[in-house]
Amino acid sequence: MSQLSLLAESLIGSEIVKLGNEIASRIANGEKIYNYTIGDFDPHIFPIPPKLQAEIISAYQHHYTNYPPGDGLKELRQSVADFIFKHQQVRYELDEILIASGGRPLIYTIFRTLVDEDDKVIYAAPSWNNNHYVHMNWGQHCVIDTKPENDFMPSADDIKPHLSQAALLCLCSPQNPTGTTIQRNELEKICDLILEENNRRGSHQKKLYLMFDQMYWTLTFGNTTYDNVVALRPAMKDYTIFVDGISKSFAATGVRVGWGLGPAHVIAKMKAFLSHIGAWSPMAEQKATAIFLRDDAAIAAYFLEFKRKIHERLVYIYQRIMELRSKGFPVDAIAPQAAIYLTIKVDLKGKTHGVNKLNTQKDVTTFLLTEAKLAIVPFTCFGANEEAPWYRVSVGTCKLEDLENMFEGLENALKKLN
């Protein structure tokens, strides 16, 4: 009999971490691996904004090292409120904002606040970690398998049949892992469905809430724009909890400043959970972020170069994948839209390499790692079918000077297949 809890025994660890361990082992043995698996930034390529760094150092020099308030510093919550209003035209009061050490504690406390055992939770596959959060709360999985023709985003028609009895709908746009977005007309339709469902339920039934992960909302490219659901449908403010922060917007993943925005009574309960977990953002980093978010010039200057460098890498990889496709290789990609990710297709299952046949998509992933020295994350790590031929490429640690050699190696590896 197990001596651990049922949850501990049934919990599956991060598939990406498992893949990362294999890559690290290969690198340690001297292999040159082009590792595009990590949803993070190499600080030497993508440093945090100089203004933010200077303010963090200053805050520590002024000894801001004690506990922060449970819901976050008042000046940071005010800066967040002003920042969101300026860029998204939605106003939040201070009691509708909660500061935490990045997005994960916020997502966890949203689930703990809204989801009871066996409550239905709707989420798309692929998507980041929703399957694990549902499991940790003993919720009922309601998975929408998305399609490449819809950029792997759920549509209103996909969602509509599942709304009855659901407690939570999880959306992320721009999305990890796909780097794609939900179009405005679809967002409006989804909002209308949520509002209709909650009106149908009446005042005595548990409401349906939307968790909207907008961690990548500043990182859109070309004609792609970000749309705030509350700006589109103001009534959605009563039912929407946003997850946001500086982790991806300012390449500050290790700085650990995130914020949740939502109805005051939901935020208050999330704060209560957070007070027991203690996953607060550090005091100095909160002080620094409060100052930085008020510096429009510093933010604009940072975004100009930061976004250019991300987009440059995404476009280069996309174009080279499409060149391989034009040569007849079984690869494809979705044009860059947002975030730090590119969705690519590597459809090699059934092909042979010497005497070995690639029977499964796992075989394909291993072939890419072994023969092309290319490490990318299969969509199965994000809840998709284990035989799906689609992958996430992350450019946060990508060196431009490596890409020519990487693609030369990939093409040579593909040529070995029959």
The per-residue pLDDT for 418 is: 85
The pTM of this model reads: 0.94
Written as six digits, the tokens of 62 are 């002024």
The per-residue pLDDT for 3 is: 85
Q: What is the mean pLDDT of residues 234-239?
A: 98
CB 411 within 8 A of CB 329: yes
- Domain edges within the chain: 6-46+300-415, 66-295
The per-residue pLDDT for 55 is: 98
Tell me the per-residue pLDDT of 33-67, one tens digit each, with 9 for 90 and over. Answer: 999 998 999 999 999 999 999 999 999 999 999 99
CB 193 within 8 A of CB 163: yes
Query: CATH fold of 6-46+300-415, please?
Result: Aspartate Aminotransferase, domain 1 (3.90.1150)
Name the residue among 411, 413, 415 with its Cα closest to residue 321: 411
Residue 211: which H helix or E strand, with range?
strand 209-213
The rounded distance, in Å, linking the Cα atoms of 166 and 208 is: 6
pLDDT over 80 at 192, yes or no? yes
The rounded distance, in Å, linking the Cα atoms of 261 and 103 is: 11
The per-residue pLDDT for 412 is: 96
Tell me the per-residue pLDDT of 294-341, one tens digit each, with 9 for 90 and over. Answer: 999 999 999 999 999 999 999 999 999 999 999 999 999 999 999 999
294 phi/psi in degrees, rounded to 5: -90, -5
pLDDT over 80 at 79, yes or no? yes
The rounded distance, in Å, linking the Cα atoms of 403 and 418 is: 25
Q: What is the mean pLDDT of residues 91-95?
A: 98
Tell me the per-residue pLDDT of 370-403, one tens digit each, with 9 for 90 and over. Answer: 999 999 999 999 999 888 999 999 999 999 999 9
Secondary structure letter of residue 66 according to DSSP: S
Q: What is the CATH number of domain 66-295?
A: 3.40.640.10
pLDDT over 90 at 19, yes or no? no
Mean pLDDT of the chain: 95
CB 383 within 8 A of CB 334: no
User: What is the separation, in whole angstroms, between the first and last Cα of the chain?
Assistant: 49
**Other CB atoms within 10 Å distance of the CB of residue 117:** 8
Residue 312 CA: distances (Å) to CA of 2, 303, 307, 315: 51, 14, 8, 5
Contacts of 158 (CB under 8 A, 6+ apart): 124, 144, 146
The rounded distance, in Å, linking the Cα atoms of 120 and 394 is: 31
Tell me the per-residue pLDDT of 131-161, one tens digit each, with 9 for 90 and over. Answer: 999 999 999 999 999 999 999 999 999 999 9
pLDDT over 70 at 265, yes or no? yes
Residue 144: which H helix or E strand, with range?
strand 140-145
pLDDT over 70 at 1, yes or no? no
Q: Can you tell me whether residue 390 is helix, strand or coil?
A: strand
Tell me the per-residue pLDDT of 335-377, one tens digit each, with 9 for 90 and over. Answer: 999 999 999 999 999 999 887 899 999 999 999 999 999 999 9
